Every structure is written in structure tokens, then in C-alpha cells.
Amino acid sequence: MSADAWMHVITAEYLHEYLPAGGSAVKVVSGNDECLAKIQAQLSAVAEETGLYYVAPRTDEFDANGKRPDLHRIDKLFFAITASVPWVDLAIQQVQGFLASKGIEIRGRALDDLEGIASDNGRDANDLVNEYQRELATPQIRDHEMAIEFRTALLALQRAQLVPDSYTPSTTDILLHWLSGQTATGQANALKRLQIYERINQTNARYMLMSFLRWVRKMRYNGSVICLDFRPYESVKISKAQRDRIILDQVKRAIAAGASHQDLEGLMAEHTPVENRLFYSKAAYMQMLSMMRRFIDEIDQFEGLLLVVLTSPAFYEPLSPRRYTDYDALQTRIGLEVRDRDRPNPAAALVHLEVE
């Protein structure tokens, strides 16, 4: 079906209604590079218009240290999804919102000038802190839908903006390192002081992501759209003879389907060797398939999430070195739906797209 028709349904039924209501879904789409680039651009634009948090983590390029992003690991995916989150700005926004709701005017003062803010409003600084703790912090720490470490970290980050400490490194720096998977000198002891005892790792990152998606809806967003590019995981290092056999089979199929000369040129271009291409091992590929399957199985535990997985048409070819049938558990979840034989379903879990 056309990319425009699919986007029309996704926008009207999911981005405008379903996600803001707290619903979540996983969609797998395939198409050529032009089609998928168009989809990403449209998803990003609509997400911005509708107040959704949008992120498209890169799986196809090395990081600043020359390492693969390895998004088949759930902790790496969490860090990539939250990399652009303005944690401190949102913490300040939440504290400022609380003060405003109590009629407290900041009057151009820094948020951590608590004595000055209290004096300007005829209040006692300790009373303001106690009121913040009772009416904002306590309800948040009791939100058991979020992981305790995540709740603790965000509350400590908020409090650090209101009541800064004299530690080096500061509480804010320690928490920003923790949220991004980095380490800092003295971090372990500082985290224990905040009652955070684990780093974000593969064991707890799924719950951290669930917590983040819930929390982000409490802030400025109506939900989240994550666009995950699976295509680099499809690529394998193969010999020229193997590549030629794959191309020949696909060309025969395309000719039988009435492909034009331009279509055949595009098909050949897709198999042109690219220098410095990023390849993933078979183990990483299978781990990514397993992670996708788990997202589908547990999607009701995520709040306000649309996960869009981008794949190439080659992934569904029977002679491709890595293909759709490699993992039965995923294939049965996205490909064996009851469907109309003549009309594509834009709301299906798996949709093959083309540009009109």
C-alpha cells in the first residue's frame, strides 16, 4: 500500500487519539530507502504537531568512540531513546509549576535561591521545602507504576534544583551520568547516599523504559514515537557469488511482476557494496529479533508508545541471508494475521509500503 495511505491512518487513529489516551502499539513496515525516509520525516513532523516525544535512534553509524550503538541491548536502547531528554530543564519546569500552583512568585530569582523566594512571598524557606515534599515529591515516590530507582532519581534531581548541595561532583551531575549510562568519580557512594543501588543495565532497563514512557506523559508530552531502523541488522558480509545469486533471483521475480527498467536499476543499487558499512553478528541479529518480539508481547505494559520498526523488502525474500522466517516467534506475531486477500490493512502489524 502507499506510504501516504498508511500515514493517514496512523496519524488519525494512533498519533491523534490512541497514544494520547495511553494506548501502545508496535508496527513493522517495509519499503525502499526513499519510502522509509519519507515515513520517518512524516512521523517526526506529526509527532511535533501533536505534542509527542519522537526519537529515531541510529543503528547504522558508529558512535564518537568508534563503537556500534548495539541497540539490540535494551539498556543501550534506553540510553539512545533518552539521550535528547532535557532532564534538568524538565526538573526545573516541574518545581516551578508546583511553586506557581501555590501562588509563589519567583520574581526573576534563581530557583535555588530558596531563602530569597520565600522572603519575597512572606513564607519560610523550610515550610516551602516541607510543602514541596508533602504535596509533590511524596505522591511521585508513591507512583508504583514506575521503577523505584527511576522515581528516586527524578525526585533527587528536582530537589537538587530547589535545594542544591555542596558535594563534588554535584547530585545533578551524578544523576545525569547515571541516566545516560556513564560513570563519574565518586558516583557509587553518591548514588548510595540517594538510595540508588543499581546502574541501568540489561536487567532493569526495560522497567526504566516503561517508567520513562509513563513519566514523559506526565510532563509536556502526550506520548512517545520511537522509530527503530532494523535494516542494518539485515546486512551480512557475503561473497560476491552469494550476492550475485540473490540479485539474480530478485531480478527474475521483479521482471515476472512487470518491473520497469528504473525499478531494476533501483534493485541493483540496493545491493551495491558500501564502504565502512556497519555489520551486526548473528547473535546480535537474533537478540534484536527477540527484543522486538518481547516488545510485542509486553506492549500493554508500556504507556503511550508507538514503536515503528523499519525493514527492507529484502528481509522478506526467501533467499536473503537474514530473513523474516529466521525467528518463528516473531513471524507468527506480525505475519499470520487474518487478512483480506485483495485489500491491504493499514492497521496491520506488518505493512509493505511504496511511494506513489
pLDDT, one tens digit per residue, over 238-289 is 666 766 777 788 788 888 888 787 777 776 666 555 445 678 999 999 999 9
Mean pLDDT over residues 173-197, rounded? 90
- Please indicate, yes or no, whether residues 175 and 254 belong to a single structural domain of this protein: no
Mean pLDDT over residues 323-328, rounded? 91
- Please indicate, yes or no, whether residues 239 and 333 belong to a single structural domain of this protein: yes
In single-letter form, the type of residue at position 207 comes to Y
- Please indicate, yes or no, whether residues 118 and 230 belong to a single structural domain of this protein: no
- Residue numbers of the domain that contains 288: 3-83+223-352
Residue 135 lies in a domain: yes
- Please indicate, yes or no, whether residues 99 and 192 belong to a single structural domain of this protein: yes
- Please indicate, yes or no, whether residues 96 and 191 belong to a single structural domain of this protein: yes
Q: What pLDDT score was predicted for residue 275?
A: 45
Residue 207 lies in a domain: no
pTM for the whole structure? 0.85
Residue 55 sits in a domain of what CATH number?
A: 3.40.50
- Please indicate, yes or no, whether residues 91 and 45 belong to a single structural domain of this protein: no
- Please indicate, yes or no, whether residues 255 and 280 belong to a single structural domain of this protein: yes
Mean pLDDT over residues 340-356, rounded? 81
51-82 residue pLDDT tens: 999 999 999 888 777 788 999 999 999 999 99
